[in-house]
Amino acid sequence: MTALLKIQNLSLEYRRGPVRAVRDVSLEIHPGESLGLAGESGSGKSTLALVLLRLLRPDEARVTSGRILFEGKDILTLPEPSLRALRGGPIGMVFQDPFSSLNPVLTVGRQIEEVLEIHAGGRNRPRALDFLDQVRLPDPPRIYAAYPHQLSGGQRQRVCLAMAIAGGPKLLIADEPTTALDVTVQREILNLLDALRRDLGMAMLLIAHNIGLLSERTDRLAVMYAGEVVELGPTAQVLGAPSHPYTQGLLQSLPKISKGSGRLPALPGQPPDLRRLPSGCPFRPRCPSAFDRCVQEPPRLLALEKSIRSVACHLRHGTS
Amino acid sequence: MELLKAEGLTKSFPVEAGLFRRAAGGVRALDDVSFSLEAGESVGVVGESGSGKTTLARILAGFLAPDGGKLVWEGRPREFFSRNAWAARVQMIFQDPSASLNPKLSVQTLLAEPLRQRARWDGLSIPRGPALVQRIEEALVEVGLAPEARLAYPHQFSGGQKQRIAIARALAAGPRLLLADEPVSALDLSIQAQILNLLADLREKHNLTMVLISHDLTVVRQLTDRVMVLHQGKAAECGPTAGVLAAPQSPVTQALLEAVPAFLR
Amino acid sequence: MLRLYLRRFLGNPLALAGAVVVLSLVALALASPWLSPTDPLQQDLIHRLQPPSPAHWMGTDDLGRDVLSRVITGARVSLAVGGLAVGIAVLLGTLVGVLAGYHGGWVDAVLMRAVDVLLCFPTIFLILMVVAFLEPNILNVMAVIGLTSWMGLARLVRGETLSLRERDFMLAACGLGLSTPRILGVHLLPHIVSPIIVAATLGVGGAVMTESALSFLGLGVQPPWPSWGNILTVGKDYLHIAWWLSLFPGLAILVTVLGFNLLGEGLRDVLDPRLGNE
């Protein structure tokens, strides 16, 4: 199956510094698939989300290499009108804070209709109401007439989702869609995302810093660290039997209800400062299994033998 | 020995409306909340936004006065204690260390203040010069930071390191009760365990009583002996942490538990 | 901390240009007795109204006094008045702003209504009224300008204080049982220093303008002591035959105000906390 979205060797740097925020990242998303992207601060996951639709200002950041192919066409070289047609249409995006994603001085209905105007041929109240219904908002006419500040956080995020699906997306990018919400609401929104994905047949890129959230919602999982993908594979396998020392250390350190209150095996050190990366593997300072090759040579993301999983670690790929 | 007892705490925040901003009803942040703390215990307060847990934390810390109900410390009512006397007993760690550490002040200044205050409260001579520096360095080492950190400013540290500084600051005041308001929520996952371990270690070392406010049940399970679940200002369930989480009675607790990914249960 | 600001400052052309002008002016003002080629008060009625020449770079005025010396000496007056007037405004404005912002409630209401009322008065009329009743001299001018320009700063400081008051680190300071003066002085002040510095720097430009205007009208520095304003008073009468009497003091005012404005704008960029840390 050909990939819907293919990121090839993408590298990006922020001009202030300069800081290499994304380093040689290659990922694929297939139609209808859900790919989770996990990472902490400095991992580059949010930067990656933004660059997929070229939402970073050219004076702030620039792509230094690589391509982003959507249905075969490179997003990075698309002319403006085609790019605009893509944004909010075939590629939809939902952000972390629904309050700042919505225009406070326009009603919800007006904002959804704007999407329809641009991507679906014209303003259409019944269709807008239908989308509000699809995101499981009760009393769509009331929500339609409301302003963002009159809604709760969960409701606002549903409105953002409605706006995203109104464009008929083939791919939905959700960057920390639930982080700003209450835990019980988080679950509802994630369930909604699952349902929408199935009903509309969309692919999804779900980005979160809380790796646990991705566990039940994604088909495959990519773990990012210091701007690189360090592990990639089917979610259940990555979480059940992590291969990269970072993933392993991270998962072991998480408190779990079943663990009781014994001391947690914590990962030492802190997430890397992208301005001062160590030589070789960026995880090396914190890695319990680092050896001399790890200092000399940054590991590349390579497939594990006889597996659809990949990991960027010298330990796993032997000496070659 | 009972350290702190709360009986029937209530707190409302008025909602202003109309041209003259008169109080038009109010939001009941806390509604008849009662509990007691034994010395050395660690109690969790769990709930979502609007549950009242933050309001409760602020009242316990002394930043807010309740509208109704009583707060009793070792047998004496809250009113008995001055601002300073309460601060000597109860200190708080805030959620976001980037906001709770004054970015314009050096770590040295930030830690000197509580140390000097404590000396004042205890009636001891106030440490100065090299003696003060030594105490600050000891405080930093105790939370896992290098002594030289005292010369730096908060923005030069990572989130986890900042939270360590915040913990050092709170402990430097020598409190008996430590309030931790979502102490790891704003931190990267890979360092949450470090801070949780640190809190557990310090609690044991200083025999602290702790109130942990969190929405994250896994954190609560890790650090607390007992837990109280709040919902819309009222206590929904209360009991030993392991028991409550294993067999939740209240639908509120059940909903919170279901929100935890199966992977983390 | 300071090193960061210094680095930013050195990289900011606006700030550097302004700083050069301001520092030159300050040096000029301080060294004026030695830099003036002649005594600014010395009359020479034979050489009245001479155009600029090697002997008198800026020509002479209606009483034969060297204009260059008077302009240089005038710098002293302008900067002294500018600096001290702004100093008064900063002190008063900060005090009122912090009190109103931190305390809130009726204190805030009363103080801000007072500010509102004072802001309703056209400043120039207020100054003219006050000065008309008082003796026109340099101290009164300073005081009056200072006492009529603190209101904007008070509002600015109040706004900053209000937003800072709720921050966790302020709460933490409160939680340590620190006294209010200490919280305000040690914890709050470093945050409002930057906007105050910017407003003060920009304010000096305005104060210099106002002083020049007052002296021009005869209500400020009295002749024979030179002020750029009172040189202009004579200049306006001889505009058609002695252009240098108007041009040079006018240029001096222009350059001074421009210098302080550039410096102020530059400092605003340099001290902007949103630029993050490099």
CB contact under 8 A, B193 and A239: no
Window 4-43 of B, Cβ < 8 Å to A: none
CB contact under 8 A, C190 and B100: no
Q: Model confidence at C274, in pLDDT bands (50, 70, 90)?
A: low
Give A-chain residues touching B49 at CB under 8 angstroms.
Answer: 182
Dihedral angle, C-alpha C168, C174, C178, C179, nearest 10 °:
120
Handedness of CA A269, A271, A275, A281 (dihedral sign): positive
pLDDT at B25 over 70: no
Q: Model confidence at A318, in pLDDT bands (50, 70, 90)?
A: low
Q: In total, how many domains does chain B have?
A: 1
User: Residue B162: what pLDDT?
Assistant: 96
Decide if B144 contacts B202 (C-beta within 8 A).
no
CB contact under 8 A, C172 and B100: yes
User: Residue B110: what pLDDT?
Assistant: 95
Residues 6+ apart with CB under 8 A from B99: C167, C168, C169
Q: What angle do CA B196, B102, C105 make, to 5 degrees?
A: 115
Q: Model confidence at C1, in pLDDT bands (50, 70, 90)?
A: low
Q: Quick check: A18 contacting B, CB < 8 Å?
A: no
User: Residue A319: what pLDDT?
Assistant: 54
pLDDT, tens digit (0-9, with 9 covering 90-100), for A70-117: 998 999 999 999 999 999 889 999 998 888 889 999 999 999 999 999
Give C-chain residues touching B62 at CB under 8 angstroms.
Answer: 175
Partners of B46 in the beta sheet?
A: B214, B229
Please give the Cα distance from C177 to A230 (Å, whole number). Answer: 48
User: Residue A38: what pLDDT?
Assistant: 95
CB contact under 8 A, B193 and A209: no
Decide if B205 contacts B144 (C-beta within 8 A).
no
User: Residue A122: what pLDDT?
Assistant: 87
Residue type (1 letter), C96: V
- CATH code of domain C2-275: 1.10.3720.10
User: Residue A320: what pLDDT?
Assistant: 46
CATH number assigned to the domain comprising residue B244: 3.40.50.300
Higher per-residue pLDDT: B203 or B13? B203
User: Residue C225: what pLDDT?
Assistant: 85
What domain range includes position B114? 2-264
Window 169-228 of A, Cβ < 8 Å to B: 182-184, 186-187, 209-213, 215-216
**What proportion of chain C, given as a percentage, has pLDDT over 90?**
30
The widest CA-to-CA distance across chain C, in whole angstroms, is 76
User: Residue C158: what pLDDT?
Assistant: 95
Higher per-residue pLDDT: A98 or B204? B204
Decide if A221 contacts A234 (C-beta within 8 A).
yes
DSSP, residue by residue, A174-238: EESTTTTS-HHHHHHHHHHHHHHHHHHT-EEEEEES-GGGGTTT-SEEEEEETTEEEEEEEHHHH
Domain ranges for chain C: 2-275
pLDDT, tens digit (0-9, with 9 covering 90-100), for A173-186: 999 998 888 888 88
**What proportion of chain B, given as a percentage, has pLDDT over 90?**
78
Q: Quick check: B265 contacting A, CB < 8 Å?
A: yes
pLDDT at B204 over 60: yes
**What proportion of chain A, given as a percentage, has pLDDT over 90?**
66
User: Residue B143: what pLDDT?
Assistant: 96
pLDDT, tens digit (0-9, with 9 covering 90-100), for A215-249: 888 999 999 999 999 999 999 999 999 999 999 99
Q: C-side interface with B, Cβ within 8 Å?
A: 1, 167-178, 186-187, 190-191, 277
Q: What's the mean pLDDT when you consider all of chain B?
A: 91
H or E segment at A125? helix A125-134
Considering only CB atoms, A183 lies closest to which of B48, B221, B242, namely: B48
User: Residue C273: what pLDDT?
Assistant: 64
Give B-chain residues touching C172 at CB under 8 angstroms.
Answer: 92, 94, 100-102, 166, 169
Considering only CB atoms, B87 lies closest to which of C169, C176, C187, namely: C176
Q: Give the Å distances, CA to CA, from B191 to B39, B98, B161, B195.
A: 29, 16, 9, 7
Q: Give chain C's radius of gyration (CA, Å).
A: 22
User: Residue B16: what pLDDT?
Assistant: 65
User: Residue B19: what pLDDT?
Assistant: 54
pLDDT at B89 over 70: yes
Handedness of CA A115, A118, A123, A124 (dihedral sign): negative
Q: What's the mean pLDDT when you consider all of chain C?
A: 87
pLDDT at C278 over 70: no
Residue type (1 letter), B57: A
DSSP A172: E
pLDDT at C237 over 80: yes
Partners of A14 in the beta sheet?
A: A19, A61
User: Residue A253: what pLDDT?
Assistant: 93
Report which of A282, A263, A280, A257 is spatially closest to residue A271, judged by C-alpha positions: A282
User: Residue A10: what pLDDT?
Assistant: 95
DSSP, residue by residue, A38-106: E--TTSSHHHHHHHHTT-S-TTTEEEEEEEEEETTEEGGG--HHHHHHHBTTTEEEE-S-HHHHS-TTS
Mean pLDDT confidence for B164-173: 96
Q: Model confidence at C277, in pLDDT bands (50, 70, 90)?
A: very low
Report which of C1, C23, C95 is spatially closest to residue C266, judged by C-alpha positions: C23
**What proportion of chain A, given as a percentage, has pLDDT over 70?**
99
Chains touching B by CB (3 or more pairs below 8 Å) = A, C
Residues 6+ apart with CB under 8 A from C86: C146, C149, C200, C203, C204, C207
pLDDT, tens digit (0-9, with 9 covering 90-100), for B139-160: 999 999 999 999 999 999 999 9
Instruction: Measure in Å the smallest separation between the Cα of C206 and chain B Cα atoms.
Output: 30
**How many residues appear in chain B?**
265
Give B-chain residues touching A265 at CB under 8 angstroms.
Answer: 193
With CA atoms as reference, the chain C residue closest to B181 would be C168
Q: Give chain B's radius of gyration (CA, Å).
A: 19
pLDDT at A305 over 80: no
- Per-residue burial over A181-211, b = 16 or more CB atoms within 10 Å of its CB, e = otherwise: bbbebbbbbbebbbebbeeeebbbbbbbbbb
Residue type (1 letter), C215: S
Decide if A39 contacts A45 (C-beta within 8 A).
yes
Considering only CB atoms, B113 lies closest to which of C170, C171, C178, namely: C178
With CA atoms as reference, the chain B residue closest to A210 would be B189
pLDDT, tens digit (0-9, with 9 covering 90-100), for C69-109: 888 888 888 888 889 999 999 999 999 999 999 988 899 99
Decide if B43 contacts B27 (C-beta within 8 A).
no
User: Residue A273: what pLDDT?
Assistant: 87
Q: Model confidence at C116, in pLDDT bands (50, 70, 90)?
A: very high
